[in-house]
Amino acid sequence: MSAPIRTAVIGYGFAGRIFHSPFIAAVLGLDLAAIVQRKGDNAAADYPHAKILRSAEEAFADPTIDLIVVATPNESHYTLAHAALKAGKHVVIDKPFTATSEEALTLINMAQQQGRVLAPFHNRRFDSDFLTVKKLVGKGTLGRIAQFISHYDRYRPVQRTGTWKEASGTCNGLLFDLGPHLVDQALALFGTPKFITASVRSARDVTAIDDAFDIMLDFVLPGGRGLRYECSSTMIAAEPAPRFRIHGTHGSFLKYGLDPQEAALLAGKRPPQIDSPTPWLPEPESAWGTLALAPDPADPSRINHTKLPSEIGDYRRFYVSVRDAIFDTAPLAIPVADAFRTVKLLELALESSREKRTLPVDLSGVN
């Protein structure tokens, strides 16, 4: 393998501390060389070998830095990524990729012109539950899928103070926080939808952001039959809905709970090195989803219920893909064009919600 890719993480808040630094440090071929933390010293305590910088400009100006990871508040993503590309760096951008599809297209074109890797951090493609349903759909176990329901619920009925995530802004709010994951997963499973219908709203008594949304994406499958993908999120779900509920002609699949990686990281665990025999991070059998299959669809009174073992989720795989793309040994696992398509769908969701109507979907503009 070539010399390690020297990587700088910009931002050591929740994203930089939980979702980026641990996985960069765990991937052979990547070197967590620098962390930009404007205030505080916890990054230095967590990663004593990394150089601690106090400004993004220091990382851009360092000729030894190969890869910049933008893990800052949403509204700064475009500006920082643009500056990093201009400095000749490869770039990873946390979700949302940008505030607008126009900004996304500008960065994509710039990366192509510079010959740099530009990667959207759509890490939830490497969730245990999503990998499980992706395999399930791919094998055709449920027959033809007619309805796919995906929820990402939280319970935060009181607006938090002192956080940019709860401040008004062009791309703050729940739609641009969790919407990228849910919409990107639809694109990964089924491609481009034909229509979108959405409701983006504020559900709490006091809030400065949109804190609930429902998005319906209508797909046309080979053969002309329709599939409806429904994704929702809210901050007032004290009892969360199933993470996935999928209905097909041969049966259904029901899955509760979230991938265990985030909870493990918040509890202080770190992923082992990618070449370590120690697994990261199998889901306990108690959290497996349930398959309900009809041995004979002509006899709907007989349904067999079985637990489906979960695939192992692993965010290290995202950074393995970035590494391999920079080394030019494999394409990105998540094409940057999907970042543009995801942001475009979020824009259409806002438009559909404002106009209270179903809109046709056109995701042309990038390959």
297-344 confidence digits (pLDDT tens): 888 889 999 999 999 999 999 999 999 999 999 999 999 999 999 999
pTM of the model: 0.96
What domain count does the chain have? 2
Give residue 153's domain range.
125-314+347-355
Residues 72 and 129 in one domain: no
Residues 227 and 281 in one domain: yes
Q: What is the pLDDT of residue 298?
A: 86
Residues 237 and 295 in one domain: yes
| Number of residues in the chain | 367
Residues 153 and 171 in one domain: yes
CATH of the domain at 60: 3.40.50.720
Q: What is the pLDDT of residue 279?
A: 84
To which H or E segment does residue 90 belong? strand 90-94
For residues 30 and 327, what is the distance between their CA atoms, to the nearest angstrom?
11
Q: What is the pLDDT of residue 222?
A: 87
Q: What is the pLDDT of residue 1?
A: 58
Q: 90-94 and 118-121: which strand pairing?
A: parallel
Q: Residue 54's closest CA among 235, 190, 62? A: 62
For 183-215, the pLDDT digits (tens) are 999 999 999 999 999 999 999 999 999 999 999
Q: What is the pLDDT of residue 131?
A: 98
Give whole-number Cα distances, 221 to 42, 146, 227, 251, in Å.
Answer: 50, 10, 7, 18
Does residue 69 belong to any structural domain of this protein? yes
Residues 190 and 72 in one domain: no
To which H or E segment does residue 307 belong? strand 304-308
Does residue 220 belong to any structural domain of this protein? yes
Does residue 340 belong to any structural domain of this protein? no
By the 10 Å C-beta count (0-12 exposed, 13-18 middle, 19+ buried), 206 is classed as exposed
For tokens 């106009």, name the residue.
355
Query: Which amino acid, one-letter code, is at 283?
Result: E
Q: Residue 47's closest CA among 7, 80, 84? A: 7
Does residue 360 belong to any structural domain of this protein? no
Q: Which residues of the chain have a pLDDT value below 50?
A: none
Q: Residue 182's closest CA among 313, 19, 349, 331? A: 349
Residues 95 and 203 in one domain: no
Residues 201 and 215 in one domain: yes
For residues 295 and 141, what is the distance between their CA atoms, to the nearest angstrom?
11
Residues 173 and 310 in one domain: yes
Does residue 335 belong to any structural domain of this protein? no
CATH of the domain at 208: 3.30.360.10
DSSP string, 100-124: SHHHHHHHHHHHHHHT--EEEE-GG
For residues 36 and 157, what is the distance between their CA atoms, to the nearest angstrom?
33
